[in-house]
Structure 1
């Protein structure tokens, strides 16, 4: 069989034109005798290509093909056998009775077989074996894990990692073998020859290192739920670093480490970071290990450690020093990939710690002319974040020079960097607007144009002087915009900001042009924008008359959505000011996921048929907070993708709440680091997450008969979990407080960390002298059996005898249980062991007024404050223990447990600050708290707290939370 290359076609031409039915017909060659290895191998390659391409294959076709291929086991050709293994693995998921090939694979797994046979047979067998059959081949896999051949050991470890998802308990028993593979002194060099050749050919260099990489991954999977075991794993291989230097950069270190694989070191760093995220008390100890890894001789390990330090939560500039110094050295590396990794990490760090990155400015200046445009782009955008106002203009000009040479992905980074500068250097607004309007005229995709639009919108909101110029650029953009979503976004913004300008008629002309020239979606958005001009308080009679004429013309539009909006606009522009303010200019919105869930629950509840839906129970947040939440989520997602973060992404619940809160908004607000909008958005997201978490707890508690019997609905608040023990103790306990109108439920999550013990009848005894008899214990639920690494939950419930009873109390808590010795492998107690009772002291649980408050964003809080003047309670406090305004306001927010407004959590002055908070007492009484703080060095913080509530008694109770 001969081949002749066609120079007019590409190398994949023959494969791209494969026909499914023709390949299946050619499969008859597998049944021929004698077997033709070369033809069979090429046909197998075609089958695999069809599968990878996604061509559908019926179960019958796949099964017939599968058993035809198994006949090729009779051929000893090594390259053909490798293709057989690969094809069997791919067909096993859609074929029937694949278990029939087990005997052939088991034969190839024998110790006397070729290395290549054994390694590939293990991979194929683990792909097709049923979890119930795994104990039958367990001894083969355990032996393969500790095999001297790195090829066999690695294939067995990776296969075990895949099997772990289906048979966790079986794979967990292989921990000793995995540890032996990880600690192996030396493994023989395996061989790999894909298309033919004997085992003596194709020696793989340093394959023993990859065994350590796979072994540490499997060992972590086995121990990942045991935090102390993971900590020991990290500490076991972190004592020594390799000697020597790596290329251009001299590295420190000590004697040889047990880990010789750089990839394994990278994984170890990531595991260390996860331990730090889970237990903050271990952060100082593990941070020292990260600094040691920063000095590792391998560039890869050093970069990973530096990036991990830069991405730690609440990291200080002092802790960043070692990482930044190492990254600064990497900026001068002759390897482009090392320079790229270093500058990318510094770029992400500059968004939160610009001062820490400033020492690298000189080195980054030299990268502006780097031949790699990706490196140059990151260098300029990082300098924009860390530089001063004098250098911005020069950097912007340099950036304009190569915008056409970079991809949209990096153009988006540039647009986001310029957007962040809008808040930092408002005096340069003309320069920023000129640059952004220029890039809007260039070619680019949707995401890039959207980023530029949001930057202009942010600048217009943040800098009032340039608002009309920015609106003019946006009007020019929608005249020739190919993206419907962006036209809608701009029209929405024109409707929000245009009515307040000196010449609103200029923008009305541009908006009405969209009604005439665009598609139905854009026309509908344009009609809504026109209605906002007519409903504005500043609209004079002539403007209102003109808007109503334009809206009347839209009543004849061919699209019903446009007609409906036009009719609504005519009605609103002719309504009273109060009606227009409520329905057109309302600056708040429902949190859509919570609204959806409450509506579903309302429709499913037969008792609610005769009652009106309670919209007051659905949280609302402002549009500005929605927009900022959306922008922060997008920035975090972009950082996670661009930096390849080793850290976990933001918690799913918080991210989902932020994204959902932003869904109703048309865009995002300017990004002002640590500014009021960002703090308000964070507070809104936190309040949204609080409500979502409250609903989850309510469903969980309602499913417990003993608690459901209390008859309490709805759940008022559920506080964040409080740790009652140290994380490294033998019993780990945390408490969650659930407050109902008449009851308080304490939820205790308990974990047993001792494998040789099983606990029975685990309960928490609570005693308090502070409640004055106002709390009556009504429910105490114990955990029947608490095994190792299987957390359980105990509950204690109290009834509040009067409505204003026990808003402050302290409970002494003791964990009581029966201890029995058990077999660590099975978790079952030993026969005849009756156990013995034991007590374990826990930290006290405090109950305060903040526990009865539901953090809630309340629209028009200023008007509410004025209406509640008669129920005000005011107190002045001398708080000498606080070292600054920021620390004080953070503590006050925790004690009040209310939703911060505006820049409450982001003081702009170190000497004085004002903050406002809103919430609902017991979920019903709207409450507003305002503070004024003044800081004097040596004297601490003096604070005045004023609280007003719909329930006058609540005002005094909230003030007492500070006292």
Structure 2
């Protein structure tokens, strides 16, 4: 057995996988070593591992390559090394489906199968059954029957598993081994008993009466193997589903009896079977078991309990309601799969009175899971709003918060779908939902989502109480976005002109500007809608702008094909095509498929949102616009560490100074920050940290109002930490008697710059169209000489000053920077820069277009 031991050196070695950069050609050349005599078993094992790795990674071997390797491998049968022999069997199994003339090794495998060495017998059986076709199985039938009843569990289990695989290709032959398998059912070994029951049940699967007799007999004298019992429970549940008469009563009693088994897997299998039975049964015993599982210390049991309850919710939500407390405890479960299942189940079973509390509970949870799980939660929230329409305010606000977080296209689409469906189904939620969607499209990176939301704004916005408030959001898309989005925006603008007479003159002016667009689709739509609105014909406006019939695309294609095939000379009548249904139907049942994944840390945005919510009057500042990168105001090794977080609002900035006291013999009280601000900035309030304990962070907040003029919104701030020091016991942290003494600590200066006040993104494929379309807006441009040696470093620093991502940089010798964004307050900005090296200097021409010329000038000053 010494060959199974690993050297201590091997155990200590770590790092990358040794199979990372394997090359098939090199491995095949190494396999020629098998033809040498004698061979080094250790080297051969390494080569076989490489071959198996390539095969399992999907590497394709040609027939000739597989055959050569196969026969080279068979020469290793001469080795007496146990580990090498077992690797040989594995390799033979994998190569047998690709190589030719593999039957030639049958005699060697049969010899090992019937030999006295049990370590070889089990592996030889598996390999032999994988390479032997149905015509030659009869030659080894006698050996297989002997192996099934062998006293060695490994040999018996190998024979039974091989028989299960063969039952699909040679069922009649395997059926003749049922007597031996029946004898093995009573084995004391758990796996042998389980595999044997599988063979017996498979041989009787087409005979209902025999299956009932088998299950009835085994139910009266249950087996010891928990695996076999799980299979028996499934067979019993199948019989109950097929026959709901009193004849199935023993099977029901057997399943209920298994709820009290000592094995957890048997208990779960029984509970799962009971809650999934179609017949009406008392679920209380099974639900009690699932409740215990939800409170288990084992993650797999919590996942099993939560998943079964989630599946039961779709059929009997009232029954799951008694498990609410257990499921709420799982929301904070470190296993995110378990937490997701608990949340979706609670959303489906909760009462209307618990919606607000549930939203608050899961707000921190959502930031810690992947997009896949977030989509599941969004669908559950969507169903919840349909169930409790009066709770639309809190639900839509929660979805809007999720919409502002980071996420992929599918995740954002799921949230937008949910809000759109809520707006369409609940008239009371229209204003709230549209406001959140308008805010989202200001920074939406996905054209298809922007088009959908614009379509909704065009349909629902004119019917709102203040239709004019949505015009700005729609027309911003005409200025900044790509062609398809601009076209959708033009259609939405026309809807407002058609349905709100007092807005018609202004809408005509906007459509006239759109008639000069470079995109054909945008230009044609603007001309088309202007002509209809100028006609003043209300019926024409209603048919071609307000209530346009939308035929289904699939039906339209089919109708066109039929027309061309049958009546190509006649005019096609589009009115014959069925109109597409625009109602959004919710899925009645969403299968929650989750996997166990590594717990994720709570997002910093959520943490600081919760912190800011405790500041008095913070709600008057409105929605947060951006959170800038944190800045360290002290060195890492100092006695007091301070980090600055800048929370940007439209007209204000909240400066959060997060402080850590690294001295265990001091307690700091009444911690303030004294700011030295530029004259244009106005400090509104300072919220001190009352007590700063050793090694526990605390925050001081300063609310500052931006200057009225955008050009004055850049500046350098000085800061000093002020506090009262009280000496304390280093071990207990208890302060000494007395009031302490005042002290200060200087902090490094920090800046409020342009990158803090703008949300940007890199250019897309149709950026040039956006730039040209923004030519109607004021432009500010200037040429700069940059003090850099490397042009790429210069471009990165320019992007840093303007708040642009590095993806906005393109080109090599002539470097271009292209991007766009939204400045705080909502003004759109389009940025273009060209950098070139002339002699030894780097020259840059920067141009910025925006409806607000002062913002364009401000961005230029960030470089100068």
Matches within 5 A, 1:564-643: 577=539, 585=547, 622-624=581-583, 627-628=584-585, 631-632=587-588, 635-636=589-590, 638-639=591-592
Report what 2:463 is aligned to: 500
Equivalent residues of 2:563, 2:572 under 8 A apart: no
* Alignment partner of 1:77 is 2:81: yes
Distance 1:166 1:494, change over 3 A: farther
Report what 1:184 is aligned to: 186
Distance 1:8 1:118, change over 3 A: closer
Deviations 1:412-459 (A, max 9, x none): 343233223213332222211222111222223344333333332333
Report what 1:553 is aligned to: 514
- Secondary structure in 2 matching 1:623: coil
1:50 aligned residue (35, 38, 54): 54
Equivalent residues of 2:259, 2:286 under 8 A apart: yes
* Alignment partner of 1:295 is 2:260: yes
In our comparison, the structure showing a higher alpha carbon Rg is 2
Deviations 1:596-624 (A, max 9, x none): 99999x799x9999999999999987333
Equivalent residues of 2:341, 2:592 under 8 A apart: no
Equivalent residues of 2:494, 2:507 under 8 A apart: no
* Alignment partner of 1:61 is 2:61: no
Deviations 1:716-752 (A, max 9, x none): xxxxxxxxxxxxxxxxxxxxxxxxxxxxxxxxxxxxx
Provide the rounded CA distance (Å) in 1 between the counterparts of 2:364 and 2:329. 16
Report what 1:824 is aligned to: none
Report what 1:214 is aligned to: 195
Report what 1:304 is aligned to: 269
2:227 aligned residue (251, 260, 263): 263
Distance 1:41 1:372, change over 3 A: closer
Deviations 1:849-894 (A, max 9, x none): xxxxxxxxxxxxxxxxxxxxxxxxxxxxxxxxxxxxxxxxxxxxxx
Task: State the shift of 1:345 in Å.
Answer: 2.3
2:441 aligned residue (453, 471, 478): 478
Provide the rounded CA distance (Å) in 2 between the counterparts of 1:615 and 1:284. 59
Report what 2:99 is aligned to: 95
TM score, norm. by length of structure 1:
0.53
Distance 1:17 1:232, change over 3 A: same
Distance 1:184 1:269, change over 3 A: closer
Report what 1:905 is aligned to: none
Report what 1:38 is aligned to: 42
Deviations 1:776-810 (A, max 9, x none): xxxxxxxxxxxxxxxxxxxxxxxxxxxxxxxxxxx
TM score, norm. by length of structure 2:
0.59
Distance 1:521 1:230, change over 3 A: farther
| Structure 2 residue runs without a partner (length 5+) | 597-864
- Secondary structure in 1 matching 2:136: helix
Equivalent residues of 2:366, 2:374 under 8 A apart: yes
* Alignment partner of 1:449 is 2:412: yes
Distance 1:565 1:617, change over 3 A: closer
* Alignment partner of 1:405 is 2:388: no
Equivalent residues of 1:588, 1:623 under 8 A apart: no
Equivalent residues of 2:549, 2:579 under 8 A apart: no
Distance 1:113 1:484, change over 3 A: farther
Distance 1:380 1:101, change over 3 A: same
Distance 1:590 1:120, change over 3 A: farther
* Alignment partner of 1:29 is 2:33: yes
* Alignment partner of 1:151 is 2:154: yes
| Structure 1 residue runs without a partner (length 5+) | 187-207, 241-256, 644-963
* Alignment partner of 1:416 is 2:379: yes
Task: State the shift of 1:37 in Å.
Answer: 0.9
Provide the rounded CA distance (Å) in 1 between the counterparts of 2:56 and 2:335. 34
1:339 aligned residue (290, 293, 302): 302
- Secondary structure in 2 matching 1:176: helix
Task: State the shift of 1:63 in Å.
Answer: 1.6
Does 337-346 or 169-178 show the bigger shift? 169-178
Equivalent residues of 1:515, 1:526 under 8 A apart: yes
Report what 2:637 is aligned to: none
Report the number of matched residues: 589
Distance 1:609 1:581, change over 3 A: closer
Provide the rounded CA distance (Å) in 1 between the counterparts of 2:525 and 2:353. 49
Report what 1:123 is aligned to: 126
Task: State the shift of 1:47 in Å.
Answer: 1.2
Deviations 1:227-270 (A, max 9, x none): 44444444343335xxxxxxxxxxxxxxxx12x23233333333
Provide the rounded CA distance (Å) in 1 between the counterparts of 2:132 and 2:190. 28
Distance 1:66 1:608, change over 3 A: farther
Provide the rounded CA distance (Å) in 2 between the counterparts of 1:299 and 1:403. 31
Distance 1:432 1:521, change over 3 A: same
Distance 1:497 1:542, change over 3 A: closer
Task: State the shift of 1:16 in Å.
Answer: 0.3
Equivalent residues of 2:193, 2:228 under 8 A apart: yes
Provide the rounded CA distance (Å) in 2 between the counterparts of 1:564 and 1:91. 64
- Secondary structure in 2 matching 1:482: coil
* Alignment partner of 1:104 is 2:108: yes
Root mean square deviation of aligned Cα = 4.4
Equivalent residues of 1:422, 1:458 under 8 A apart: no
Matches within 5 A, 1:740-759: none
Distance 1:616 1:485, change over 3 A: closer
Equivalent residues of 1:527, 1:551 under 8 A apart: no
Does 398-407 or 66-75 show the bigger shift? 398-407
Task: State the shift of 1:40 in Å.
Answer: 0.4
Task: State the shift of 1:55 in Å.
Answer: 2.8
Task: State the shift of 1:29 in Å.
Answer: 1.0
